[in-house]
Structures are given as structure tokens and as C-alpha cells.
Chains A and B, each alone.
Chain A
């Protein structure tokens, strides 16, 4: 199973096929007489010729190489790779959700519209916000939505000089990217020695040109921004808005609400906190919630309810417009709704409590061997550093790669950027003490290995089909199609494919 799988093209043998068509009752015509030559494909399409069992085995073997939260522990910090309950999947496949069309008449869509309306009500209660749009397709899309709302809000007041968006130096990379994409000037705020926003530095940067501060709370180091009251006051005093990046909401469910902390805009990553599958690029959902003063600018349409009847509300004259077709990734919204409904208030609170306890347990257990830069309790995740190992020539990458040999997904490494040799570990609430203890055991084993044979760790992983893909070559000369691959083989006779081999995670 851990051998390298050939490409389906490499299995191809002329004459083999996996289909048989019935005898045709019609006369066949020469296609070149029916279709102009300019529209004909030349050369002919190059498709592999394989039999049905060969094809099935090829893809089943590939699928078994998947690393997923259904197969292994996945402590990928910031990504909240919690187990996704299968009841979510059941509900998303109900006929009434899976086989409807958004252009059906409203009276035939009342079920899904009620679900969306109720999901919005739950998200409002969980975050302390006044209204939500469910359209954004992911966290970064939500951020872009947020930036559009910020601009509309200031400009509607005739305040045209608000060009600066502040982000902490520990922020998710999407924060400055979203602000810059929408044309704002990004201003970086330093972290203090406690790993939190440096309040004095923040105050020195804000003025009547401040549009917004984007903040993750708890922040990317897994620490609660305990100056949040002073931060929100400082921003609001200069007329700016406060944006909440909800990537770390898994620490706060039922415990604290961004709306009560003074945030004006909030995005949630339903695919993280509310247990919808992610990794590999989506689909996700990044609903955006706002306080009253921003409701007039929300994307259209919203769902409204009158006397138990639901309808689309498209009468939002100052709306920033549509962000996504219809109401977003409906299947993801259904799954999140089911998760919230089946856990309820108490269940959601326990989710966050358990996530926090699990992270603190791991932190305590490994902090003697891996440096933890900021003392005290963490929230749902923490950052450890491979500092002692670095002195032995072993880096966070080597530790991450070695974990794969033990069937554990690597933590997020080299992020946040302000922490050297960072490993960001987020166990989530769904892991048992036995799994956590196994992780600790493996981490301590690797710490020992770093002392005993540091050189060998540079070769890890030892048990996987692909060990250390050449990431530099893959980035400099990406081979993305079979055509490119064949051309590169013809050019240099070598058959090595550059692939990064590392699962991409959705932000």
C-alpha cells in the first residue's frame, strides 16, 4: 500500500477498454462532414486504455493513501481538524436538501429556507451579532466581505479618508491579503512579550485614517487577547471598526462572544468550528455576522420570515451586492446546522471546554522537551518551538515529517511567523486521552531521536511512499499535467515527478 502508485496513463495498454456499447441501430456518419475542421481536436485526445478492474483498483488504492481525520490524529493548528459526525452527512443527503434547485418557487423551498433562517439565528446567539450573511464560501471570502462592509460603512457616513487596516504581526496571512486585495493600506501591529497585541504600539498607529482592526481571538499563538476591552475602546474612539477573524472560535463556544467584546464584524469558519469536512481546498463556508449599524450593507439576498412563511429578502438598497451564487455552499450550511442542533447550548460549551483542556494537557506534557515561548494557560491550541532540537541540527520540518511515520498528521509549522521553529498544535475536543497520550509518547520519542541520531531525522519519513519530495523543484518547475510530465521525461530521461506530497489545508 505504501508503494508509489503508477499514473493511470502508465497502466494504459492499447486495445484495452473498460466499457462496451450496444450495437447501434443507426448508420454512422463521418464526423468530419458534420463538424468544421477548425472545431476538430487535433491531435486526438490522449486517454488511457485500461480495463474496468484495473481502473477500479487504481483509484481504490489511491483513495487508501488518503490521510484524513477519519483515519488518523490530525493536530493541524489553526485548522481545527475535528472529527465530522456522520449524522451531518446523513442530513445533507436528504432528498429535500440534496435534490432541490435554488430557482424553484419559494413555496417549494420552505424547508431549506427555514434551516438557513434557524442557522442564522443560532450563529447570532453564539457570537452575539445582530445579522449574518451565509454567502461567503470560506474564511478569506468572509474577510473580503468584511472589508467591503467596512468601506461601505465609512463611505456612507461621508468619511472618505479611512484607508488603513491594522493587523497584528501574528495574524493569519489572509488578513493582510484580504485588506490589500480590497485596496486598503495594511499596517502591522507588534506583539508584546506576552504574545498579545502591543497596546501602546496599537495606540501609536491609529487615527482618523483607521478603517478597521482585524483580530483573531484567541490569537494564533493560542492566547486570549485579554486587553480586548482597551483594544476595542481605542479603535472605536478613533472611529474605526473591529473585525473578528473566527478561525479560532472553537475556543469560545458558549463561553464568550465576540459581539460582547465589541467586535462589529465577525466571520466564522463553519468548516472548522462547526465540523464540516475540509482540507484539500473546500468546500467551506465563512458566514459573516454584523452589528446593527452594518446590516444595511450585507450581501443580498437574506432569508426573512413572516408568520411562519420564509422568503428571499432582496430589498437591500445599500447592499455590497452578491458574493456568491444564491446562498452559498448549501451542503456545508446544512451540516453545520445539524452539528449545532444536535449538540445544543450545553454541548457546544463542552466542545470548547474540552478543546481547551486537551490543548493544555498536551502543552504541559511536552513543554519540558519542546520550548513553549509564552507561559501560562493556552486556549484551544498552543505553539511549541523546536529550539533545543535546532541546536542539534533538527528542525521543525524534520519533526513534522517524522510524525508521519507514526501515523500522526504534522502540526502547522513555521507559523505564526513571529515564533522561530514554530509548531502549532491543536488537538481539538474530539480526541480521547489515549490518543493524546500516544501523541505525547511519539513526541518524546522524536525528542530522544533528535539527540541520538539527528542526521537520520533529515531523511524522515521512512515508511511512506514518498519521503522528502523536492519542494523547491516543485515550486520552481511545477509539473501539473501528464503532458508536461511526458515532455519533461522526453527532455531529460528522468521520470521523477515533483510533487509537494504535503496535504494542502483549507484556511
Chain B
């Protein structure tokens, strides 16, 4: 599986990417695979406050519904409106077209609490045991 090195990862399987003064958030390839086909996403509202590690939105697959946790605290700038019409983007392109939302972080150093791609892969191999 692919875990790009320029991204930061949460233990709850979200990724975060610094893009200028905002942070873009999505779920990892592992997460989309575990979820199986996503059929619905309940996205956060613009300007909604996020808190690191707190549930912010919901994805539903044919298997179950899962919470998505905010990898950083801040304010939602934008969400990916395309997901409402085509939630399958999350499965097809989790790191690109399948992004969830972007946040203006209240404390950029929170990114340091997240994992590198190597650390995240290690976590996955531990979970498999």
C-alpha cells in the first residue's frame, strides 16, 4: 500500500498535508480499503471548529458507519463538495480527488503529534498482529 512521505498520519487513519497556510485532510489508503466502498459522507460545515483527535465527520460504507477524527485543531475552510455526488472518489483516489476538507490550524505544531509514513506503516503492522 502507498503512504506518501510528504503526508502526516493519525493513529485513526487520517492523513494531513500542509498546503500554504491551511491543512488538507483525508483518509489513508488502508482506511479506504478497510471501509470498503464508501456510499455516503457527512462533511463538516465551513467555519466549523475542529479539535485534534475529536470526531468531525462521518463516512458510511456498505459495512458500517465510521467517525473521521480531525488530525489538527482549527477552523474548517473548505470541504470537498465532489464527495457528495461521488463518494467513490475516496476509494479511487484517497490522497488526491478523495480529500475531505481543509482546516486553518490554530496551532501548527500539533502536526508534530502525528506520525510519519514510516511510523504509520509500523503501526499498521503492529495492529495486524
CA of A417 to CA of B87, assembled, Å: 22
CA of A472 to CA of B60, assembled, Å: 11
A-B contact pairs, 14 of them (CB 8 A): A173-B65, A414-B64, A415-B64, A417-B64, A471-B37, A471-B62, A472-B37, A472-B39, A472-B62, A475-B40, A475-B60, A475-B62, A476-B39, A476-B87
Q: How far is the CB of B37 from chain A (nearest CB, A)?
A: 4
Task: Flag whether B11 is at the interface (Cβ < 8 A).
Answer: no
Contacting residues of chain B (62-88) with chain A, CB-CB under 8 angstroms: 62-65, 87-88
Q: How far is the CB of A281 from chain B (nearest CB, A)?
A: 19
Contacting residues of chain A (388-425) with chain B, CB-CB under 8 angstroms: 414-415, 417
Q: How far is the CB of B38 from chain A (nearest CB, A)?
A: 9
Q: How far is the CB of A166 from chain B (nearest CB, A)?
A: 15
Query: Is the Cβ of B63 less than 8 Å from the Cβ of A414?
Result: yes
Query: For B65, what are the chain A residues with a Cβ–Cβ distance below 8 Å?
Result: 173
Query: For A472, what are the chain B residues with a Cβ–Cβ distance below 8 Å?
Result: 37, 39, 62
Query: For B39, what are the chain A residues with a Cβ–Cβ distance below 8 Å?
Result: 472, 475-476
Query: For A415, what are the chain B residues with a Cβ–Cβ distance below 8 Å?
Result: 64
CA of A476 to CA of B40, assembled, Å: 7
CA of A476 to CA of B63, assembled, Å: 13
CA of A417 to CA of B35, assembled, Å: 12
CA of A415 to CA of B64, assembled, Å: 9
The residue of chain B having its C-beta at the shortest distance from the C-beta of A180 within the complex is B55
CA of A173 to CA of B66, assembled, Å: 11
Per DSSP, chain B at the interface is loop
The 6 closest A-B pairs by CB, nearest first: A475-B39, A472-B37, A471-B62, A476-B39, A414-B63, A472-B62
The residue of chain B having its C-beta at the shortest distance from the C-beta of A417 within the complex is B64
CA of A414 to CA of B65, assembled, Å: 12
CA of A476 to CA of B62, assembled, Å: 10
Known: A415-B64, A471-B37, A475-B40. 11 other contacts (CB 8 A): A173-B65, A414-B63, A414-B64, A417-B64, A471-B62, A472-B37, A472-B62, A475-B39, A476-B39, A476-B87, A476-B88
The residue of chain B having its C-beta at the shortest distance from the C-beta of A472 within the complex is B37
Q: How far is the CB of B69 from chain A (nearest CB, A)?
A: 12
The residue of chain B having its C-beta at the shortest distance from the C-beta of A471 within the complex is B62
Query: For A475, what are the chain B residues with a Cβ–Cβ distance below 8 Å?
Result: 39-40, 60, 62
CA of A417 to CA of B39, assembled, Å: 18
CA of A414 to CA of B61, assembled, Å: 12
CA of A475 to CA of B41, assembled, Å: 12
CA of A208 to CA of B62, assembled, Å: 39
A165-196 CB mask vs B (1 if < 8 Å, else 0) is: 00000000100000000000000000000000
Query: For A173, what are the chain B residues with a Cβ–Cβ distance below 8 Å?
Result: 65
A464-506 CB mask vs B (1 if < 8 Å, else 0) is: 0000000110011000000000000000000000000000000
Q: How far is the CB of A240 from chain B (nearest CB, A)?
A: 22
CA of A415 to CA of B63, assembled, Å: 9
Query: For B63, what are the chain A residues with a Cβ–Cβ distance below 8 Å?
Result: 414
Q: How far is the CB of B61 from chain A (nearest CB, A)?
A: 8
CA of A475 to CA of B88, assembled, Å: 12
CA of A475 to CA of B87, assembled, Å: 11
The residue of chain A having its C-beta at the shortest distance from the C-beta of B39 within the complex is A475
- Residue in B62, B65, B88 whose Cβ sees the most chain A Cβ within 10 Å: B62
CA of A173 to CA of B65, assembled, Å: 9
Query: For B62, what are the chain A residues with a Cβ–Cβ distance below 8 Å?
Result: 471-472, 475
Query: For B60, what are the chain A residues with a Cβ–Cβ distance below 8 Å?
Result: 475
- Residue in A173, A414, A471, A476 whose Cβ sees the most chain B Cβ within 10 Å: A476
Q: How far is the CB of A76 from chain B (nearest CB, A)?
A: 17
B31-44 CB mask vs A (1 if < 8 Å, else 0) is: 00000010110000
- Residue in A173, A415, A417, A472 whose Cβ sees the most chain B Cβ within 10 Å: A472
Q: How far is the CB of B88 from chain A (nearest CB, A)?
A: 7
Query: For B87, what are the chain A residues with a Cβ–Cβ distance below 8 Å?
Result: 476
Q: How far is the CB of A220 from chain B (nearest CB, A)?
A: 14
Q: How far is the CB of B11 from chain A (nearest CB, A)?
A: 13
Q: How far is the CB of A137 from chain B (nearest CB, A)?
A: 23
Q: How far is the CB of A471 from chain B (nearest CB, A)?
A: 4
CA of A501 to CA of B40, assembled, Å: 20
Query: For B37, what are the chain A residues with a Cβ–Cβ distance below 8 Å?
Result: 471-472
CA of A476 to CA of B84, assembled, Å: 10
Q: How far is the CB of B49 from chain A (nearest CB, A)?
A: 15
A412-452 CB mask vs B (1 if < 8 Å, else 0) is: 00110100000000000000000000000000000000000
A332-369 CB mask vs B (1 if < 8 Å, else 0) is: 00000000000000000000000000000000000000
Query: For A471, what are the chain B residues with a Cβ–Cβ distance below 8 Å?
Result: 37, 62
Q: How far is the CB of B66 from chain A (nearest CB, A)?
A: 9
The residue of chain A having its C-beta at the shortest distance from the C-beta of B63 within the complex is A414
CA of A93 to CA of B63, assembled, Å: 39
CA of A472 to CA of B37, assembled, Å: 7
The residue of chain A having its C-beta at the shortest distance from the C-beta of B66 within the complex is A417
B5-44 CB mask vs A (1 if < 8 Å, else 0) is: 0000000000000000000000000000000010110000
